[in-house]
Amino acid sequence: MHKSDPPHDGHSASDLDLPVDEVTCQQFVELVTEYLEGALEPHTLSQVEEHLAMCDWCDTYLEQMQATIASLRELGEEPSPEPPDSVLAILRARRGGEA
């Protein structure tokens, strides 16, 4: 199973009741944030890591999530540049015309 659309039933992923000793791909997608934050219960963590060892798709998904997080951290470190005065003047002129 490789569905990536988690259900939106108002429960957090950590509330998942894993009735079997295996995590599905859909369950992994629902648990990935808590996995990356180190917030999984030990039993669930063990199940997730076993799944990752066997599932190339989810391993790739995890790598993509980690790369995205790293990229976003880099973006957050640099302050956004101020727009040039000429752009600000145009925006102000347009805003004044709408009032």
Q: Among 11-25, 29-43, 53-67, whose mean pLDDT is lowest?
A: 11-25
pLDDT at residue 98 above 80? no
The CA distances from residue 40 to 47, 70, 80, 90, in Å, are: 10, 21, 35, 51
Instruction: Give the helix ranges, DSSP H, for 1-99.
Output: 25-36, 42-54, 56-77, 85-98
pLDDT (0 to 100) of residue 63 = 97
Task: List all residues 6 or more positions away from 41 whose beta carbon is below 8 Å from its beta carbon.
Answer: 14
Q: Which amino acid is at 72?
A: L
pLDDT (0 to 100) of residue 65 = 96
Mean pLDDT of 53-79: 89
pLDDT at residue 16 above 90? no
21, 46 in Cβ contact below 8 A?
Answer: no
